[in-house]
Amino acid sequence: MNEMNYENPLEKIISFGHIVEECDVLGQKIQLRVLNAGVRRDILGETAHLETMARVQDIKIRTLARSILSVNGVVLRYFPKTQDESVTGAKLTAQNIQMLMKAPQASIDAIYEKYVELVEKQEKIIEDVKKKSLRAGQEPSGKSDPRSASETS
């Protein structure tokens, strides 16, 4: 088997379940990515001060603002430089949040449902890797589990 060489061992864990997928939502081709743990944590921190119902809605909008990569082939993550400066990730996210705040609630919910489907797909990929590792008597890193040898002795 031809394994990639990773400079940092955590890179292999990070690569499991990385999903970017184009979905058809409301007649639009929307490319979504599943957010990583750090970004999800940031979103929870940004919304912690809100009441429950407002927080749920704000989490959806902030998640989509970071998850949507393109709509009908138009990339949202990278804008050309202006005369003064490039649009940074934070500015772009803020712009996306403002745009999504103008969308009908049903549209936000429909796009967010697709995002949740991708998260579930990612969880299934991770679960499949875990099952394969257990069947092979190995940790997900591909190394044998030393506990299994000592427990059977």
pLDDT tens digits, 22-54? 999 999 999 999 998 889 999 999 999 999 999
- Spatial CB neighbours of 113, under 8 Å, sequence gap ≥ 6: none
Rounded Cα gap, residues 113 and 80, in angstroms? 30
Rounded Cα gap, residues 61 and 108, in angstroms? 7
Over the stretch 102-131, which tens digit does the pLDDT of each residue have? 999 999 999 999 999 999 999 998 888 888
Would you tell me how many other CB atoms lie within 10 Å of the CB of residue 11?
A: 11
pTM: 0.74
Element of type H or E holding 68: strand 68-71
Residue appearing with tokens 């997900």: 140
